[in-house]
Structure 1
């Protein structure tokens, strides 16, 4: 059997430059994206600046799977980069420790409170913040309530709060908390959640005091990182000569825009290509509303047509045209571009990146967590277009596709579509109350958008078991997603009814 990647099996020329014993960063949410993004920037910064004391303590928020992948490999893993040419591979060694929060929450708090740590970064996905629909912390969330009651914290807000309180007690110094998730103004947003948590504590004064000196800069991150497959692991082993159970796959494109607002020392990320700026908002809005929104549109429309990957969906000329029109007709009119960014050219680059056939980014993976993705990716554009007395046809189509995905439950070929969403129970209950049963398939022909143009009539399609109006009224009534304003907007409702009808038969 091929030897496994480790410090002893890795050639000297490829050994990590980050000092194994020095932890300067804690990262919450040790998934593939962090390993293909912030950890790569940190490694490259160490190489270019010679500052090798910025080892990362990675915290897995759920299972021990990542620790079991990385611990036998001394924290090493590879990034397999797939572009239009031959793939390349690089071993990353900036993650020097892996902790699993459910198994040892005290160790997580202790590491955040470590005076040697000056930066905490996060990639916990939108749902990991446990926010309420109005934007603050969801104080009714049972996990938040358990942390507030004094258990060893299991939520990211609880972990940060406990770590900050301990830093105040020990004089560890102020902390920079850097969110890297796809959220509008993610830094200020996280600060507000922390303030809500502090206000709900029986004695939150020390946390409130520590929040006064902590910094919460905003940031924008961008890189496509599909789920790793067994075939990827086999290819990595062939390129490395050793077996890597933790390999991650990524596109060549890599971007990080960070608000230059830190409480203390940090790695020289700008030397590795990160953009330090006084205003992240224009970059963030362009990425969320163009790249992320288009990704979601292609995921839902592509999944309904039976496409397994985003690249397959983009190769469908009709879907590619709709994705381009979403950006040009609905999104660009709502944006103020950052200096030096041509939005039209950026939109074209987005579609080119999505079309990369070497990246097997599954539509099902992108379609996950729609209830928390739609508000930050699409609904802001919709609200802005409605406020401008414009009909958001393409952004509305993306939302309609999500509704058919949720309410239909199958693709045009009758294959089941899994609803992987933190509000799945609520959505299913809402549909059931309206008498709608997902999982139906029509027998007839028709040329709906849910089926590839030109498909034979016998291919079938999506049947909702209810009228488009019933589906729209049921799902639009989920206030935790759409709020009261969109639920009551007759223009938006009528648009959705028309488009749900066009997606079905």
Structure 2
């Protein structure tokens, strides 16, 4: 059965349907960067609230700034913006749910004015973002906004025809200010520390270059709540589509598959109101920091620790690496000995239990999370997920062997060929730059670790870390992943 408005009530009885009519909902949120995670997380929570008979004024209008977003929009538009969310765990009671919280999607390349106009509508009170860790144009080594980037320079020169999120936000906020409409809240849902503060810093830096008076108005009127977001959401594959059709009879061009676990910890800083998400499980707090540190260093950091090693070994799914006892021992040692001592206590969280849950989540066979997804955009992920842990280890004079292996695995992964001789492409916007860093083995250490925007200044200056990196890189090259892990663990357990 093709998923659309007409066929909705002909779907199988076990499929949960919206208890509301999306056509009667008003756009209160514009979300920039509609991908699987947004649909499995923020839209999931909003749909749950709508199913309680609330949030009538908080429907989501998607926005796409990239050419690739057209296929996303077309897939959703072809089914009246409904989509299927499938929760997959290692138990047979899979939840299948149709979500209707997203009711439209605009593309920047179809006309900037239409998108700016939507953002400027009085009913829109939140603009949320999933634009990837690198999308904020902040230099991780200096913390400064990278105004020199060509796309930023374009938007400064053409404020009515922007291409970046900052150009669109400024154009819309200017319209709102000039019309006497209150500012919307900018809510980052990206996986980076203090994401709200980062969004604020980037937008204000752009606005200051564009229009100092607008900068001052934004600084005074726009809220930027920090948030910790969590749900493992693989890339939608043809296999997922086929599985949904075969098992549940639903023909969906762009379903989303995710794990049952979901978490959202959010600062209650909204200037123009918000949905009552706390009624559907969102935790509001005055300080997200301990939750961010826990999640980013343990989950995201451990993901990086296993993903490049697993890919080099020839695995292609996260659960395959977790079926290998060596990987489980290594990841647990990294969590216990390198990360946990750096974490403050987290209200309401038992860290030992949280780490046990992470091992279970990584081992989820049913969602078949792709290592390629976790490998992607490593040049932006390392500064946020791994480098802070390494910096602290260096500063505290602790062993850096396990953490150095993470970096050594990435260096070898950038070569584009695994232990089985299989060649692969590098999914990173800076792939060409990164691969050039490792092209010459003789200068690899100096060139790679010397990239300040990725590794900062402490790492290349630490003789102990550099030596550990070179040992692990040599071992991976000459002995392979399995022997390297065995040797490392034998010496430390």
Q: TM-score, normalised by structure 2?
A: 0.92
Q: Secondary structure at the match of 2:191?
A: coil
- Is the contact between residue 5 and residue 243 of structure 1 (CA under 8 Å) also seen in structure 2? yes
Alignment match, 1:458: none
Say if 2:384 is the partner of 1:376.
yes
The CA distance in 1 between the partners of 2:84 and 2:182, in whole Å, is: 34
CA deviation after TM superposition for structure 1 residue 303, in Å: 0.2
Say if 2:8 is the partner of 1:10.
yes
Say if 2:121 is the partner of 1:114.
yes
Query: How many residues of Structure 1 are paired with residues of Structure 2 in the alignment?
Result: 467
Alignment match, 2:467: 494
CA deviation after TM superposition for structure 1 residue 488, in Å: 2.1
Say if 2:102 is the partner of 1:89.
no
Alignment match, 1:484: 457
- Is the contact between residue 4 and residue 244 of structure 1 (CA under 8 Å) also seen in structure 2? yes
Q: TM-score, normalised by structure 1?
A: 0.89
Alignment match, 1:460: none
CA deviation after TM superposition for structure 1 residue 483, in Å: 2.0
CA deviation after TM superposition for structure 1 residue 16, in Å: 5.4
Say if 2:284 is the partner of 1:284.
no
CA distances 1:372-399 after superposition (whole Å, capped 9, x unpaired):
0011101001111111111222222111
- Following superposition of structure 1 onto structure 2, how do residues 202-241 of structure 1 map, counting pairs within 5 Å? 203-241=211-249
The CA distance in 2 between the partners of 1:158 and 1:132, in whole Å, is: 19
- Following superposition of structure 1 onto structure 2, how do residues 274-313 of structure 1 map, counting pairs within 5 Å? 274-313=282-321
The CA distance in 1 between the partners of 2:438 and 2:242, in whole Å, is: 43
The CA distance in 2 between the partners of 1:374 and 1:383, in whole Å, is: 12
Alignment match, 2:395: 387
- Following superposition of structure 1 onto structure 2, how do residues 31-430 of structure 1 map, counting pairs within 5 Å? 31-48=35-52, 50-62=54-66, 63=68, 64-86=70-92, 87-133=94-140, 134-151=142-159, 152-201=161-210, 203-406=211-414, 408-430=415-437
Q: Secondary structure at the match of 1:504?
A: helix
CA deviation after TM superposition for structure 1 residue 80, in Å: 1.0
The CA distance in 1 between the partners of 2:120 and 2:193, in whole Å, is: 27
Q: 1:130 to 1:103 in 2, by over 3 A?
A: farther
- Is the contact between residue 364 and residue 418 of structure 1 (CA under 8 Å) also seen in structure 2? no
Q: 1:218 to 1:18 in 2, by over 3 A?
A: farther
Q: Name which of structure 1's ranges 93-102 and 239-248 shifts more when overlaid on structure 2.
A: 239-248
CA deviation after TM superposition for structure 1 residue 165, in Å: 1.3
The CA distance in 1 between the partners of 2:204 and 2:148, in whole Å, is: 16
Alignment match, 2:32: 28
The CA distance in 2 between the partners of 1:420 and 1:231, in whole Å, is: 21
CA distances 1:257-297 after superposition (whole Å, capped 9, x unpaired):
10111102111111110000001010011000000111111
Alignment match, 1:452: none
The CA distance in 1 between the partners of 2:112 and 2:404, in whole Å, is: 42
CA deviation after TM superposition for structure 1 residue 358, in Å: 0.6
Alignment match, 2:447: 474
- Is the contact between residue 81 and residue 103 of structure 2 (CA under 8 Å) also seen in structure 1? yes
Q: Name which of structure 1's ranges 131-140 and 90-99 shifts more when overlaid on structure 2.
A: 131-140
> Structure 1: where are the runs of 5+ without partners?
437-465
CA deviation after TM superposition for structure 1 residue 102, in Å: 2.6
The CA distance in 2 between the partners of 1:206 and 1:249, in whole Å, is: 41
CA deviation after TM superposition for structure 1 residue 170, in Å: 1.3
Task: With a CA cutoff of 8 Å and minimum separation of 6, indicate the structure with the bigger relative contact order.
Answer: 2
The CA distance in 1 between the partners of 2:284 and 2:138, in whole Å, is: 27
- Is the contact between residue 370 and residue 421 of structure 1 (CA under 8 Å) also seen in structure 2? yes
Q: Secondary structure at the match of 2:454?
A: helix
